[in-house]
C-alpha cells in the first residue's frame, strides 16, 4: 500500500476549525456574526477578463516622499471569494478588497504598517509579510501554528508592525493551507534615503512585475488529488501551471475568451526600475524583455552590483529588481515581456507567459496593437539546467557587511523526500527536515509554547535553537537527488557563506573557505539537488521563525522547520493580550473534546 501523504490542512492549518476558532477568540479585533461576501466579485470578473488587472496600482508614484517623517500606513482589507477568468478560464479565486492579485503596500523605513483583515471566506486565514523582519513583533509574522491561530471565518484581526532597517522589494501572501496559490498575494515596496539607487537620480520610473504559475483547479482540489492513491492527473509530482500570469493576467490558448495581456507603460528615453517578484507555487521563471538588457540591481531586499543579462532566472518567492533603458524605439512602440516557466527545467513543455512593455506617447495617446518584437536568440530552453542567479553570477551587496570570522553555533537541517513514520507508527510519504515531517499544532502556536517555557515536540516539529545573540550558522542539505528547492527563512536576512555538492556537517565547517568579505544577503536560497548551502544569521531577533521550502506543494507535505532564536528572551517578551490565556483555552478544548 502506498504511504499516505500528511494532509495539507493538518500541516498548514486547515483542520480542527473548532480548535482554531477557540484559539483565536482572544486575537479578534472584531467578531462578526456571519461571514461577508465580497460586493466587488462581479467587478472583479469583468476586470480580470477584459483589462490589465492591477497594472495601474503597480505603478509606483514619483510623488511618494521617501524622506517623510515616519508614519502609520493603515489598510483595511476584506479577504473573500470571487469568480474570475484571469487567463480566459473561469474559476473561483480569492481576493483582497475585490482585487486579484492584491493591492500594493508602499511605505518607508521607520513606518508602522497596520492592516486590519476581515475574513469573509468559509475557512481560516492568515497573512504573512514575506521578508519583513518583524523585530520585536514575532507574533505578527502571520503563520498559523507558529505565530498565531488562523483568523476564523467571519472574523477580523489587525496586523501591526514597524519596518526598521530594511528596504527594497517584498510581498505578502496567505500562509494558511495553500490558498496563496488561489490569489491571496500582493507586493510590498519599502523605500529609504539609504538605498544605494534612488529614483530621480539613478532611475526615472518604478514598476512592479508580479508573476506566477496559475492552475485551473483550485489548490485544495490539487492537494486532495495528490493525497489520493491516483495522484493529481496521474502524478504525485508538483504540478506545472496551466498558464502564467503577469500582474494577474495570462493567456490560456484553449480558451474562447482570452484577456488582453497585462501592459506596463513606461516613458521613452528613460531608465526604468522593474521589480520582478516570482509568487509561483512551484515554478522557476525566467524573465526577459525583447530588445532590452536587464541590469540586476537588487536581490531580496539587498541592493547589489549585478550582471547585465538578457534574462533573469527567479525561483519561487525570490525578488530581483532590474534597470532597463527605454531607448529601443519611439513613442508608442511595444515589446514583449516574456515569463518562461519550467518546474524543474529539463522539461519539454516550458510555457511562455507574455505581457506588453509599451513606450508612452507624450501627448497621452497610446496605440493598442500587440508587439511584433522577437525574443532574444540566446534565451535558455527547457533542456538547460536551472541555475540560481547567485551561483551563475557574482552578486555583490552595494552596502558592504563583512561576516564574522566565527559563529557561536552551527545547526544542520537536512531535507529529503521519502516515507516517514509518526509517533503512532503510521507511515507517511512526503518531505521532511532531519527525518521529521512538520505536523502543525495549529491550536497551540509554537511562539506560545516557547513563551510558556515548554518544549517543542521534536517528534512533530523539526526545530533548531540559537540561545544567544551572535553569529549563527545554518547548514541546509538538500538530499533530494532530482529536485531543487527554494528555502525561505522568516524574520531574518541571511548571508550565503558557502555552497557545494553532496552534504555538509557541522564538523566540516572549519575546513571550508567561507565568503566572509561582504557575502550576498537574501531571505531565499535556491539549493540545487544533492547540494548544500551554509547561511549565516545574526541571532538578535527573538522569535520562532519558520524555515521552509517555498514550493507550496512541498510545504504542504511537511517541508518546514522551526528556528527558535533566544528562547529566554521570548519567555520575557510582552506578548499581546491574545496570548494571555492559552493554557486555559487548551484546557477548555480538552474538556470540550472529552465531553
C-alpha pair distances (Å), 387 with each of 321, 323, 485, 529, 595: 18, 22, 11, 11, 56
- Residues 387 and 407: their CA atoms lie apart, in Å, by 29
8 Å CB contact between 343 and 283? yes
The pTM of the full predicted model, rounded to 2 decimals, is 0.90
**pLDDT tens-digit profile of 163-216?**
999 999 999 999 998 889 999 999 999 999 999 999 999 999 999 999 999 999
8 Å CB contact between 304 and 298? yes
- Residues 10 and 433: their CA atoms lie apart, in Å, by 17
**pLDDT tens-digit profile of 18-77?**
333 334 323 333 333 222 233 333 344 333 333 335 556 799 999 999 999 999 999 999
- Residues 159 and 126: their CA atoms lie apart, in Å, by 10
Neighbours of 4 (CB within 10 A): 15
User: Mean pLDDT lowest for which of 96-110, 335-349, 387-401?
Assistant: 335-349
**Residue 593 clears pLDDT 50, i.e. is over it:** no
Task: Calculate mean pLDDT across residues 483-504.
Answer: 97
At residue 268, the pLDDT reads 95
Beta strand segments in 85-230, E: 91-96, 105-108, 112-119, 127-130, 155-162, 168-174, 185-191, 205-214
At residue 7, the pLDDT reads 38
At residue 1, the pLDDT reads 35
**pLDDT tens-digit profile of 125-142?**
999 999 999 999 999 999
C-alpha pair distances (Å), 400 with each of 302, 303, 320, 403: 10, 10, 19, 10
Confidence of residue 448 (pLDDT cuts 50, 70, 90): very high
Backbone φ and ψ for 550, nearest 5 degrees, come out as -100, 15
C-alpha pair distances (Å), 39 with each of 83, 95, 156, 158, 230: 12, 11, 17, 21, 39
DSSP, collapsed to helix, strand or coil, labels residue 344 as coil
Which residue in 66, 79, 226, 85 sits closest to 152, CA to CA? 79
**Residue 570 clears pLDDT 60, i.e. is over it:** yes
- Residues 293 and 323: their CA atoms lie apart, in Å, by 8
Q: Between 593 and 121, whose confidence is greater?
A: 121
User: Mean pLDDT lowest for which of 57-61, 420-424, 497-501, 532-536?
Assistant: 420-424
At residue 422, the pLDDT reads 62
Q: Between 303 and 418, whose confidence is greater?
A: 303
Task: Calculate mean pLDDT across residues 333-348.
Answer: 82
Q: Of the ranges 60-64, 275-279, 280-284, 587-591, which is most confident?
A: 275-279
Angle subtended at Cα 162 by Cα 158 and Cα 166, rounded to the nearest 5 degrees = 135
Q: List b or e across 432-444, with b for residues whose CB sees 16 or more CB atoms inside 10 angstroms.
A: bbbebbbbbbbbb
At residue 254, the pLDDT reads 54
What sign does the CA torsion over 137, 15, 424, 489 have? Answer: negative
- Residues 140 and 198: their CA atoms lie apart, in Å, by 30
Confidence of residue 252 (pLDDT cuts 50, 70, 90): confident
At residue 223, the pLDDT reads 84
At residue 228, the pLDDT reads 79
Q: What count of Cα atoms within 13 Å lies in the side-chain half-sphere of residue 319? A: 29
At residue 25, the pLDDT reads 29
Taken in order of first residue, the domains within the chain and their CATH numbers are: 4-191 (2.60.40.420), 209-397 (2.60.40.420), 409-594 (2.60.40.420)
The mean pLDDT value of the chain amounts to: 86
- Chain centroid to Cα 496, Å, comes to 19
**Residue 420 clears pLDDT 50, i.e. is over it:** yes
Amino acid at each position: 500500500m502506498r504511504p499516505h501523504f500528511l494532509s495539507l490542512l493538518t500541516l498548514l492549518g486547515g483542520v480542527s476549525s473548532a480548535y482554531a476558532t477557540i484559539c483565536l477568540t482572544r486575537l479578534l479585533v472584531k467578531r462578526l456574526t456571519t461571514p461577508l461576501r465580497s460586493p466587488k466579485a462581479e467587478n472583479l470578473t469583468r476586470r480580470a477578463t477584459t483589462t490589465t488587472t492591477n497594472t495601474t496600482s503597480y505603478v509606483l508614484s514619483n510623488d511618494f516622499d521617501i524622506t517623510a517623517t515616519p508614519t502609520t500606513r493603515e489598510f483595511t482589507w476584506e479577504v473573500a471569494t470571487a469568480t474570475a477568468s484571469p487567463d480566459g478560464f473561469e474559476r473561483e479565486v480569492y481576493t483582497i478588497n475585490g482585487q486579484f492579485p492584491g493591492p500594493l503596500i508602499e511605505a518607508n523605513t521607520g513606518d508602522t504598517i497596520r492592516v486590519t483583515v476581515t475574513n469573509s471566506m468559509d475557512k481560516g486565514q492568515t497573512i504573512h509579510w514575506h521578508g519583513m523582519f518583524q523585530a520585536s513583533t514575532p507574533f505578527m509574522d502571520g503563520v498559523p501554528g507558529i505565530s498565531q491561530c488562523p483568523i476564523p471565518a467571519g472574523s477580523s484581526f489587525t496586523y501591526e508592525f514597524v519596518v526598521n532597517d530594511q528596504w527594497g522589494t517584498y510581498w505578502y501572501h496567505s500562509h494558511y493551507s495553500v490558498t496563496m496559490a488561489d490569489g491571496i498575494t500582493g507586493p510590498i515596496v519599502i523605500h529609504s534615503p539609504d538605498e544605494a539607487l534612488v529614483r530621480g537620480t539613478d532611475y526615472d520610473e518604478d514598476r512592479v512585475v508580479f508573476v506566477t504559475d496559475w492552475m485551473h483547479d483550485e489548490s485544495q482540489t490539487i492537494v486532495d488529488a495528490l493525497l489520493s492513491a491516483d495522484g493529481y492527473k496521474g502524478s504525485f509530482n508538483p504540478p506545472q501551471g496551466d498558464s502564467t500570469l503577469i500582474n494577474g493576467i495570462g493567456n490560456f490558448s484553449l480558451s474562447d475568451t482570452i484577456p488582453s495581456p497585462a501592459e506596463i507603460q513606461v516613458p521613452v528615453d528613460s531608465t526604468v526600475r522593474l521589480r520582478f517578484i516570482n509568487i509561483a507555487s512551484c515554478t522557476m521563471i525566467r524573465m526577459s524583455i525583447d530588445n532590452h538588457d536587464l541590469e540586476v540591481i537588487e536581490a531580496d531586499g539587498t541592493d547589489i552590483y549585478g550582471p547585465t543579462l538578457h534574462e533573469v532566472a527567479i525561483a519561487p518567492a525570490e525578488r530581483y529588481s532590474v534597470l532597463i533603458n527605454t531607448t529601443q524605439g519611439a513613442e508608442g512602440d511595444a515589446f514583449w515581456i516574456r515569463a518562461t516557466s519550467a518546474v524543474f527545467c529539463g522539461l519539454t513543455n516550458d510555457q511562455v507567459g507574455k505581457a506588453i512593455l509599451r513606450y508612452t506617447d507624450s501627448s497621452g495617446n497610446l496605440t493598442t496593437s500587440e508587439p511584433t518584437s522577437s525574443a532574444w536568440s540566446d534565451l535558455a530552453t527547457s533542456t538547460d539546467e536551472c541555475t540560481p542567479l547567485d551561483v551563475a553570477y557574482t552578486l555583490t551587496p552595494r552596502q558592504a557587511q563583512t561576516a564574522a570570522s566565527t559563529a557561536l553555533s552551527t545547526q544542520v537541517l537536512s531535507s529529503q523526500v521519502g516515507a516517514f513514520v509518526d509517533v503512532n507508527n503510521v507511515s507517511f510519504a512526503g518531505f521532511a527536515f532531519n527525518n521529521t515531517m512538520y505536523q502543525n499544532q495549529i491550536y497551540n502556536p509554537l511562539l506560545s509554547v516557547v513563551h510558556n517555557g515548554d518544549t517543542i515536540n521534536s517528534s512533530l516539529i523539526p526545530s533548531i535553537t540559537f540561545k544567544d545573540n551572535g553569529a549563527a550558522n545554518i547548514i541546509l542539505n538538500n538530499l533530494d537527488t532530482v529536485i531543487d528547492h527554494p528555502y525561505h527563512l522568516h524574520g531574518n536576512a541571511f548571508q550565503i557563506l558557502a555552497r557545494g555538492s553532496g552534504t555538509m556537517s557541522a564538523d566540516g565547517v572549519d575546513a571550508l573557505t567561507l565568503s566572509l568579505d561582504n557575502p550576498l544577503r537574501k531571505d531565499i536560497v535556491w539549493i540545487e539537488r544533492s547540494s548544500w548551502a551554509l547561511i549565516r544569521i545574526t541571532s538578535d531577533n527573538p522569535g520562532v521563525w519558520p524555515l521552509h521550502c517555498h514550493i507550496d506543494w512541498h510545504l504542504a507535505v511537511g517541508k518546514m522547520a522551526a528556528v527558535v532564536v533566544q528562547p529566554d528572551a521570548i519567555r520575557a517578551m510582552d506578548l499581546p493580550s491574545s496570548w494571555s490565556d492559552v493554557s486555559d483555552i487548551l484546557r477548555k478544548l480538552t474538556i470540550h473534546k472529552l465531553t
